[in-house]
Amino acid sequence: MEITNIKESRNIIEDIEIGSIADEMEVNPGDVLLSINGKSIKDVIDYKYMMADDYLMMEIEKSDGEIWEFEIEKDAGEDLGIVFTNPLIDRAKSCNNKCMFCFIDQLPPNMRDTLYFKDDDSRLSFLQGNFITLTNMGEDEIQRIIDYRLSPINVSVHTTNPELRVRMLRNKNAGKIFNILKRFHEVNIEMNCQIVLVPGVNDGEELNRTISDLSTLYPSINSVAVVPVGITKYRNGLDNLDIYNDETSNKVVKEVEVMQKHYLEKLDTRYIFASDEFYVVSGNKLPEYDEYEGFPQYENGVGLLRSFKTEIEEALEKSSYSESKQRLIFATGTLAFGFMEDIARMIMEKYRNLIIEVVPIKNDFFGETITVSGLVTGMDLVEQTKEYNGFDRVIIPRSMLKRDEDIFLDNITLKDAIEKLGMEILPSKVDGMELINLIETGVRS
């Protein structure tokens, strides 16, 4: 996940929620939070912990340098309504690992500076769902997670074999992972874990060992996702790694299904889930909606396709429209091409006079081994859709753009892409209702 405002560490207030306690106190954007109950605020965790009290003494530095003091009585846990310029209220902690599969090490030069920042910050895991390795923190930070009961957090485990983990992450502290997880388990900290699978390295028997170890910490470790390693064309000087093909992906799917059956009987949960990519590449049918058990690893690409298809079906069933005189392009990564063709057919069956062309965007920027939609760049999109004439607009997944800005990974803005293509480009979340609304009204939610 791309991190912004990584250098700003002062408690600068960016916005105030209308009608909130801070709004009533006339706290303004640009003010600086100095202390709560006489204690300085180290970061957002301190802030949230101290703010939970029902009585607060708060110091604010106004933009003119004047110090205001506030005495606040409120409901326990009630939010003050303050939004900080830097959501961490501190510098993000960087990662010192040299993981054999690190995607950031495979980026081309001359991209946005923030894309090269490797975060490994437990606070970002708690706040934004980032996955962390737990190798770049000292005992004081580990104890702080325990003392504050930071939960849930997402952990990149990869393997519980100490020697193998040290080799994979190239960090001498990496082998301590299971002991740290056990300490979190003892105080009931909720965790979701991921395993980036590398063919011939941590799959097969190593994967079985890892899942067996992690399952002993259930229900604290609520779920485990396995996702395939991603390989770009920029790997000079890096390990020579294989990618998963149809045969090896099928093997992973079958192994996961065997483990799911075992843990369903043992723990009453399938516990381990394979990412959508393994199913698509191997040609296996996606699991049914209920088999994802509430989609605990949705943001990790586990069940995204199944959830989206179900949402489309429900949205079409509810829709009262029967006609849409449009010619649309669905632009997608090559991985989801067949899936999106099925989605397009479902939608066209609902609406008369609607034509949808699904265009798979080959990733020339990162290399053809990168097939997911979220890594498609603006120039690849423009170059590979400009030959399609007579269409009204292009619909793209919102994941192609930066989370908080309409800009692609190659720094081309959505506006620039529209001008270059000469056609409207509309982003849509991977949300069935939003896509159907976009088709019926042409308006972004």
Comparing 4-18, 33-47, 126-140, 260-274, the range with the smallest average pLDDT is: 4-18
Same domain, 199 and 291: yes
Same domain, 257 and 124: yes
**What digits encode the pLDDT tens for the residues 52-89?**
788 999 999 998 899 999 999 988 878 898 888 766 55
pLDDT at site 113? 72
Q: How many CA atoms lie within 13 A of 376 on its CB side?
A: 28
Same domain, 279 and 377: no
pLDDT at site 39? 85
Domain containing 26 equals 13-84
In a domain, 121, yes or no: yes
CATH number of the domain residue 224 falls in: 3.80.30
**What digits encode the pLDDT tens for the residues 316-374?**
999 998 888 999 999 999 999 999 999 999 999 999 999 999 999 999 999 999 999 99
pLDDT at site 119? 54
Same domain, 295 and 358: no
Q: What is the mean pLDDT of residues 174-198?
A: 96
| pTM exceeds 0.85, yes or no | no
Domain ends where: 271, 302, 333? Answer: 302
pLDDT at site 120? 52
Burial (CB count within 10 angstroms: exposed 0-12, middle 13-18, buried 19+), residue 188: exposed
In a domain, 95, yes or no: no
Count of domains in the chain? 3
Model confidence at 97: pLDDT above 90: no
Same domain, 42 and 178: no
Same domain, 395 and 436: yes
Same domain, 420 and 315: yes
Which residue is listed with tokens 């010192």?
96
CA distance to 126, 133, 203, 270, per residue, from 122 (Å): 6, 9, 26, 26
Same domain, 365 and 238: no
Q: What is the mean pLDDT of residues 419-433?
A: 95
SS3 state of residue 29: coil
pLDDT at site 4? 44
SS3 state of residue 58: strand
Evaluate whether 226 touches 195 at the Cβ level (below 8 Å): yes
Domain ends where: 302, 322, 346? Answer: 302
Q: What is the mean pLDDT of residues 24-35?
A: 90
SS3 state of residue 73: strand
Residue 174 tokens, joined: 């990496």
In a domain, 8, yes or no: no
CATH number of the domain residue 339 falls in: 3.40.50
Same domain, 124 and 261: yes
In a domain, 277, yes or no: yes
pLDDT at site 10? 62
Mean pLDDT rounded to a whole number for the chain = 89
Gap between the Cα atoms of 202 and 274, Å rounded: 14
Q: Using alpha carbons, select from 217, 170, 223 the residue that is nearest to residue 194.
A: 223
- Looking at per-residue confidence, does 48 or 339 come out higher? 339
**What digits encode the pLDDT tens for the residues 260-303?**
999 999 999 999 999 999 999 999 999 999 999 999 999 899 99
Evaluate whether 198 touches 103 at the Cβ level (below 8 Å): no
Starting at the edge strand found earlier in the chain, the sheet holding 39-40 runs 39-40, 32-36, 55-61, 67-73
Q: What is the mean pLDDT of residues 247-253?
A: 98
pLDDT at site 217? 98
In a domain, 99, yes or no: no
pLDDT at site 94? 61
Domain ends where: 254, 273, 302? Answer: 302
In a domain, 89, yes or no: no
User: How many Cβ atoms sit within 10 Å of the Cβ of residue 116?
Assistant: 12
Same domain, 267 and 170: yes
Same domain, 229 and 348: no
User: How many Cβ atoms sit within 10 Å of the Cβ of residue 387?
Assistant: 7
Alpha-carbon radius of gyration of the chain: 24
Model confidence at 5: pLDDT above 50: no
In a domain, 2, yes or no: no
